Structure 1
Amino acid sequence: MSTNVLALVGSLRAASVNRQLAELAAASAPEGAEVTVYEGLADLPFYNEDLDVEGADLPAVRALRAAGAEADALLLLTPEYNGTIPAVLKNAIDWLSRPYGAGAVKDKPVAVISASPSQNGAVWAHEDTRKAVRIAGGRVLEDVTLSIGGTIGKFGDQHPRENAETVSEVAEVVRTLVDATKELASV
């Protein structure tokens, strides 16, 4: 059985460290697993129940929900904006959580990676992301946490894949997420 992991990045900036970490996660997928970095979060309208009605033609929402439904697990990568989760990532979680109780995130294993230039490693955003996706119905892997602080000093102008410690840490998160997904599927 192949494991499909959908990676959602909370930064829209093309050269963001969190996007680079998502790319590293995709490259770190163990045999029999694939991590797909989702493109298109910038196209989502803000969640609004008036828009989320049967028959609504919302291509960006339809695409996200289809990708979420096809995924076996989610990997969320987040920076920290003003001490919390970026709106774009929270918005994606909101769309994936609906219809409530049956959304594309329900019962799927979820891991979160956060990174920030600050020394706290975006831990507040990390915690808020875990909280939001847990309430949305995802199965957050409680023992899997990776918050990377001081990214400017740690990576400089280099891609995180040039840092052996980071490569190992990201690969471990992905491996643990894939293993948890396989365990859940066998139950």
Structure 2
Amino acid sequence: MSVRILALVGSLRTGSHNRQLAEAAAKHAPSGVDIELFEGLAEVPFYNEDTDVEGGVPAAAARLREVAGQADAFLLFSPEYNGTMPAVLKNAIDWLSRPYGAGAISGKPVAVVGTAFGQYGGVWAQDDARKSVGIAGAVVLEDVKLSIPGSVTRFADTHPADDAEVVTALTEVLGKVHSAASAAA
């Protein structure tokens, strides 16, 4: 069974190592796994129930929900900003959690991975993202983890797609997400 995974990257920076990590996942996705990197998180306004009404949902948020609704599973790439996940990733989770109990992320498998400059690779941010997306109704794959420390130096001259250790770890992550999505179907 082919599984469609939507990748949400929590960094908007052009040279983001988490963006590069998502690109590496897409490049090295095993057979049966299609990864789509969502473009446009920067355009999604902060979640506001006043605008989340029929005819009032901002176009960028509606597009996020539409693309997410077509996904079988999600892979969140989170850097660590001041010890937690970036606002853009939390905002995406908020939009995807509504309507409550029936949001585009509800009941779907989600794994959270990432890289950060610190010595722990962003584990606090990733743990916060898992907590938030689980409360939002997703099926969090708690045993699927990948935190790559020292991103600034590790990926200074090497793209994650060319790092054999990273590619092996990403392939394992993708295999587990594929299995979870296939079991949920």
User: What is the TM-score normalised by the length of structure 1?
Assistant: 0.96
What's the secondary structure of 2:140's corresponding residue? strand
Greater mean deviation of Cα atoms: 96-105 or 176-185 = 176-185
Q: Which amino acid aligns with 1:160?
A: P
Cross-structure match for 2:43? 43
Which moved further from structure 2: 175-184 or 131-140? 175-184
Give the aligned partner of residue 155 of structure 2: 155
The whole-number CA distance in structure 2 between the counterparts of 1:58 and 1:163 is 39
Amino acid aligned to 1:117:
F
- How far did residue 20 of structure 1 move? 0.4
Tell me the CA shift for residue 2 of structure 1: 2.0
Structure 1 residue 57: deviation in Å? 4.7
Deviation at 1:154, TM superposition (A): 1.9
Distance 1:102 1:179 in 2: 23
Cα contact 2:12–2:42 (8 A) shared by 1: yes
> What is the one-letter code of the residue matched to 1:15?
G
**Shift in Å, 1:155:** 2.1
Equivalent residue letter for 1:161: A
Identical counterparts, % of pairs: 57
TM-score of the aligned structures, taking structure 2 as reference length: 0.97
Q: Which residue of 1 aligns with 2:19?
A: 19
**Alignment map for 1:1-187 (pairs within 5 Å):** 1-185=1-185
Q: Residue 145 of structure 1 aligns to a residue in which SS?
A: strand
The answer to whether the 8 Å contact 2:25/2:161 transfers is: no
CA shift digits 1:83-112 (9 cap, x unpaired)? 101000000000000001000000000001
Misfit runs of 4+, over 4 Å: none
User: 1: distance between equivalents of 2:170 and 2:33?
Assistant: 14
Deviates more, 1:150-159 or 1:48-57: 150-159
How many residues are treated as equivalent by the alignment? 185
> Is the Cα contact below 8 Å between 2:61 and 2:95 reproduced in 1?
yes
How far, CA to CA, are the matches of 2:2 and 2:113 in structure 1?
22
Q: How many angstroms does 1:153 deviate by? A: 2.5
Unaligned runs of 5+ residues in structure 1 are none
CA distance in 1, matches of 2:82, 2:96: 24
TM superposition shift of 1:29: 1.6
Aligned residue for 1:6, secondary structure, equals strand
Is the partner of 1:91 in helix, strand or coil? helix
Q: Which amino acid aligns with 2:6?
A: L
**C-alpha deviation, 1:152, in angstroms:** 2.2
Is there any run of 5+ residues in structure 2 with no aligned partner, and where? none
Letter matched to residue 108 of structure 1: K
Q: d(CA) in 2 for partners of 1:42 and 1:175? A: 29
CA contact (8 A) 1:28 1:174 kept: no
The root-mean-square deviation of aligned C-alpha atoms, in Å, is 0.9
Deviation at 1:156, TM superposition (A): 1.8
